C-alpha cells in the first residue's frame, strides 16, 4: 500500500471479494405482504368531471329553451280557437253546439282535451255520438250524430222518443214542429217494464219507416202485441213483433175495399200470415166478407169469425169513444 495521503491505490489485503451476480433480495429486507400502489390518473378524472358538467349544462339549456318555446306557443293568439265547424246537426244549431263546448272557444287549440269535449257534447239528449278534431291554426271541427225522434211517449207528459225507446226531450213549443204518433201504455210503469214497452213501440215504428206517418197512436199491450190507430178513418190494427211492414203495406192497399165490404168493423188483426181477421164492433152483424190478400196463397182471405170465444177485453182508446173489444180472433 502506498504511504501517500489520500485514497489507497491498492486493495486492502484483509478484504474479501464477494460476487455480485446474484440479484436476489435478502429475505431480511422483504416485506411479508406486498402492497399494490394504485396509480391515480388525476388528469383523466378531471376531464370526466368537466364532460359531465358540460352535458348537464347543455341539457338544462335545452330544457329552458324548450319550455320558453312551449310557453310562447301556448300564449300565441294565432292558435286560439276562433271557428267551430259543425256537421250532422239538424235540430241542434251551431250556437247550441258552441254552448255545449263551453270554454273551448277562445282557448289554445293545442291545449284542448278532445275526450272531455266529446263528453260535454254527449250531455245533450239530442247527441247520440260526437267526434271532435283540430285544424290548425284556429278551427275546431265537430261532427255529431243526432238521435232521431220517431214518436211522442206519454208518461207524466209527452216526451220525444227515439227508435230505441230512449226519451230525448219534452214536447213543447220548442219541439212543436214534430208531427209524430203518440205511444201510450207507458204510464204507471217504471224501470225495465217501461223500457221494454218503449223499445217494442220504437222497433215497430222503425220497421215501418215512412209508413209510420199513417199512424196516429200506438198502444203497447202487456201481452206483447202492439195496437195502432191509423190517421183518417181511425182503423185499429193489431200487430205482432217486426217485421210488420209487408202486412201493413198490404192492408193499406186493401183499406178502401175493406171499408166497403166490412162496414162497422172495429179492428183488424194482422198478426197471422196470409190473413186479415176483421173484428166487428159490439152489436154489429158481421157480413160474410172474403177478400184475398195480394201475393198470398189461395187460402189467404179476409175472414170474420162466426163464433168467437170470449176473452178479456183489450184496452181501447177512450178519447176516441171506441167500444172495448170482447171477441177473440180465430187462429189458423
DSSP assignment of 106-117, as one string? TSBGGG--HHHH
Q: What's the confidence (pLDDT) of residue 309?
A: 33
Which residues lie below 8 Å from residue 151, measured CB to CB, with a gap of 6+? 161, 180, 181, 182, 183, 201, 202, 205, 218
CA-CA distance, 17 to 167, in Å (whole number)? 126
Query: Among positive and negative, which fits the CA dihedral 291, 296, 298, 304?
Result: negative
Query: Burial of 248 by CB count in 10 Å (0-12 exposed, 13-18 middle, 19+ buried)?
Result: buried
Predicted confidence (pLDDT) per residue in 99-146, tens digit: 888 888 888 888 888 999 999 999 999 999 999 998 888 889 999 999
Q: What's the confidence (pLDDT) of residue 266?
A: 80
Ordered by where they begin, the domains of the chain are 77-146 (3.10.20.310), 149-327 (no CATH)
Q: What's the confidence (pLDDT) of residue 273?
A: 83
Residues in the chain with pLDDT < 70? Answer: 1-45, 65-77, 282-332
Average per-residue pLDDT in the chain?
A: 76
Q: What's the confidence (pLDDT) of residue 8?
A: 58
| pTM beyond cutoff 0.75 | no
Helix (H, G, I), strand (E, B) or coil at 235: coil
Predicted confidence (pLDDT) per residue in 257-278, tens digit: 888 888 878 889 999 888 888 8
Contact status, residue 185 vs residue 197, Cβ threshold 8 Å: yes
Q: What's the confidence (pLDDT) of residue 174?
A: 85
Q: What's the confidence (pLDDT) of residue 22?
A: 54
Q: What's the confidence (pLDDT) of residue 329?
A: 31
CA-CA distance, 153 to 135, in Å (whole number)? 41
Amino acid at each position: 500500500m502506498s504511504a501517500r495521503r489520500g485514497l489507497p491505490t491498492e486493495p486492502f489485503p484483509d478484504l474479501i471479494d464477494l460476487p455480485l451476480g446474484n440479484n436476489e433480495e435478502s429475505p431480511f429486507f422483504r416485506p411479508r405482504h406486498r402492497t399494490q400502489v394504485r396509480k391515480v390518473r388525476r388528469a383523466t378524472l378531471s376531464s370526466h368531471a368537466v364532460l359531465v358538467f358540460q352535458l348537464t349544462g347543455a341539457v338544462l339549456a335545452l330544457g329552458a329553451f324548450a319550455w320558453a318555446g312551449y310557453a310562447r306557443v301556448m300564449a300565441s293568439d294565432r292558435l286560439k280557437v276562433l271557428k267551430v265547424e259543425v256537421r250532422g246537426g239538424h235540430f241542434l244549431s251551431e250556437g247550441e253546439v258552441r254552448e255545449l263546448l263551453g270554454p273551448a272557444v277562445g282557448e289554445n287549440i293545442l291545449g284542448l282535451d278532445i275526450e272531455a269535449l266529446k263528453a260535454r257534447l254527449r250531455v245533450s239528449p239530442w247527441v247520440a255520438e260526437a267526434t271532435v278534431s283540430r285544424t290548425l291554426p284556429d278551427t275546431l271541427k265537430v261532427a255529431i250524430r243526432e238521435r232521431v225522434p220517431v214518436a211522442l211517449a206519454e208518461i207524466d207528459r209527452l216526451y220525444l222518443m227515439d227508435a230505441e225507446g230512449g226519451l230525448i226531450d219534452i214536447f213543447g213549443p220548442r219541439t212543436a214542429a214534430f208531427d209524430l204518433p203518440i205511444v201510450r201504455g207507458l204510464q204507471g210503469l217504471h224501470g225495465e217494464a217501461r223500457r221494454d214497452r218503449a223499445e217494442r213501440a220504437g222497433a215497430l215504428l222503425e220497421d215501418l219507416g215512412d209508413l209510420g206517418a199513417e199512424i196516429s197512436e200506438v198502444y203497447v199491450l202487456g201481452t206483447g202485441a202492439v195496437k195502432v190507430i191509423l190517421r183518417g178513418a181511425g182503423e185499429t190494427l193489431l200487430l205482432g213483433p217486426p217485421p210488420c211492414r209487408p202486412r201493413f203495406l198490404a192492408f193499406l192497399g186493401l183499406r178502401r175495399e175493406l171499408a166497403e165490404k166490412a162496414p162497422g168493423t172495429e179492428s183488424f188483426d194482422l198478426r197471422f200470415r196470409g190473413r186479415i181477421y176483421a173484428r166487428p164492433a159490439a152489436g154489429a152483424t158481421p157480413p160474410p166478407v172474403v177478400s184475398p190478400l195480394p201475393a198470398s196463397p189461395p187460402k189467404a182471405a179476409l175472414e170474420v169469425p162466426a163464433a168467437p170465444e170470449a176473452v178479456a177485453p183489450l184496452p181501447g182508446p177512450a178519447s176516441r169513444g171506441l167500444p172495448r173489444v170482447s171477441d177473440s180472433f180465430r187462429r189458423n
